[in-house]
Amino acid sequence: MENIRVRFAPSPTGALHIGGVRTALYNYLFARKHGGTFILRIEDTDQTRYIKGAEAYIIEALEWCGFTPDEGPGFGGDYGPYRQSERKDMYAAFAQQLVDNGKAYYAFDTPEELDAIREAEKEKGNHTFKYDSKVRATLNNSIRLSANEVQAKLDAGEPYTIRLKVPENEEVKVNDLIRGEVIFQSNELDDKILLKADGMPTYHLANIVDDHAMKISHVIRGEEWLPSTAHHVLLYQAFGWENEMPKFAHLPLILKPTGKGKLSKRDGAKLGIPVFPLSWDGGTPDDSFVGFREFGFDPGAVRNFLAFLGWNPGTEQEIFSEQELIDAFSIEKIGKSGARFDWDKAQWFNQQYIIASDNKALVPVIRKEIQKHGHDASDDFLAAFAEMMKERVTFYPDFWENAYYFFEPVKEYDPKTIRKKWKPERRPLFEQLLERFDALEDYTGENVKATVEAFMADNELKFGDVLPIMRVGVSGTMKGPAVFDMMALLGKEEVNQRLRKAYDVMDEAHAS
């Protein structure tokens, strides 16, 4: 392939939605696959929608997911600056160029004038007033006004916008790599504003000028931008850049977990699940979200999950390392129809990633979780703990939630087990078991097991008489890792102390 240059071009208008992260991922995979360049461009020309902290959020999210840009603000590159606000002085000249060659025009209509026209049209029953080829000759612009009138307005410093003069009666063809040829009728398209009255470009102008200046080869973005692409194709033609036009690929929508309708940030809040990569605090409850990171996801699992939201390798394989994704990825395998945000699948991916993690790699992750609760433990302890627990968690915080008792005393003993399994008259026997443990020199899982088995044989007890007592005695719950391993990790003194206390608690429960 030719020199592949792709860009992720978010607007810093708030937290980056998971759909944006998927767009970044597909751009990143495509660039890596073809030895190309992955560019981050910040589209921040709309100052009214600018949100402080959003750019930093975007960059942090990309880095957490592992899609570090090759070029971008703070990342270097020969085509900068990569923030549109830092390029703002160059756009006006491009708009002017189009006015000069008759592809665009000055429009002096004020917002109030346009509102009045819109209102008047509404009264006539027309609710879809468009500033387009049908009406432009009747409005306050350089199409209708004479050259002298226009000059007089310009000389007087009257504010104006520059609008694209969309040609009449043309078919505008967009060749989309995912959807094939998509045809738009130019008569349906409005004369989009390119340059605003404050001299700032609109998204359309800045986006096209920059894609061209940055030699973008492929535009991979969400489906919601497909309608704009008709204008973008016209802009390439107006500039005479049609031979350098990038190829377009519009990604399918991400649908709600129910499969009905587009996934929105509200769905996350409603279902108590993350739909943003990182937590975001916008200052109000409505604008504050929990992130995949804070929920306890492995970034590799998020990447793997997102890769499948719209793309499919065409094989049975589901778990893909980053390199495997790069090798398998292709735009041809991206689907047209919406991809359902399947929360069960997201959880499944995370479980698989945790299970496949090296115990040593989990040590710092687990340490962070238990430190949140004021605890710490040695690397060896945590690695052994990881081995026991990693098949029993879905998210990182579960290491604490499901197994806090490895780090602090049991809070609650399962009442059902106490009721059914504890026989106060057996207390002397169980005391004796503690003596047998005490006598053990080498307190390993195997030795503990052998000790318990000998104790059972000598006292004609069954596993069901003893193991639940051991398990609930040391952990409080019937759920958890293999009981003898758990006991070995906790250690002889700790276990005996816990069991002695548990016997008291169980006796008391029976007495009351």
Task: Please report, as ranges, the residues that interact with ligand GLU according to CB under 6 A.
Answer: 9-11, 43, 203, 207, 221, 225
Q: How far is the CB of 10 from ligand GLU (least distance, A)?
A: 5
For residues 60-86, one letter each, b for 16 or more C-beta atoms within 10 angstroms of the residue's C-beta and e for the rest, the string is: bbbebbebebbbbbebebebbebbbbe
Antiparallel, parallel or unpaired: β 161-164 and 171-176: unpaired
Contact 306, 64 (CB under 8 A): no
Catalytic site residue from 265, 345, 449, 501:
265
CB-wise, 219 or 410, nearer to ligand GLU?
219
- Secondary structure of residue 171 in the 3-state scheme: strand
Q: With respect to ligand GLU, which residue has the nearer C-beta, 24 or 363?
A: 24
d(CA 318, CA 339): 16
Q: Which amino acid is at 355?
A: I
Number of Cβ within a 10 Å radius of residue 3? 10
Active site residue 52: no
Q: Which is nearer to ligand GLU, 280 or 396 (CB)?
A: 280
Q: What residue ranges in 200-283 does DSSP mark as E strands?
A: 218-222, 247-251, 254-255, 280-281
Which residue lies nearer to ligand GLU by CB, 45 or 496? 45
- CB 277 to ligand GLU: min, Å: 15
d(C-alpha 6, C-alpha 27), whole Å = 6
The pair of structure tokens assigned to 209 is 């000028």
Q: Tell me the closest approach of the beta carbon of residue 224 to ligand GLU, in angstroms.
A: 8
| Residue placing its CB nearer to ligand GLU in the complex, 223 or 298 | 223
Per-residue burial over 448-485, b if 16 or more Cβ lie within 10 Å, else e, is bbebbeebbeeeebeeebbbbbbbbbbbbbeebbebbb
Distance of closest approach, residue 203 Cβ to ligand GLU, in angstroms: 6
Check if the beta carbon of residue 393 is closer than 8 Å to that of residue 444: no
Q: Specify the residue, 45 or 351, whose C-beta has the smaller distance to ligand GLU.
A: 45
- Report how far apart, in Å, the C-alpha atoms of 120 and of each of 117, 129, 143, 187 are: 5, 10, 22, 22
Q: Write b or e for each residue in 248-281: b if 16 or more Cβ atoms lie within 10 A of its Cβ, otherwise e.
A: bbbbbbbbbbeeeeebebebbeeeebbbbbbbbe
Phi, psi of 386 (to 5 degrees): -60, -45
CB of 122 to ligand GLU, least distance (A): 30
CB of 220 to ligand GLU, least distance (A): 8
Active site members: 265
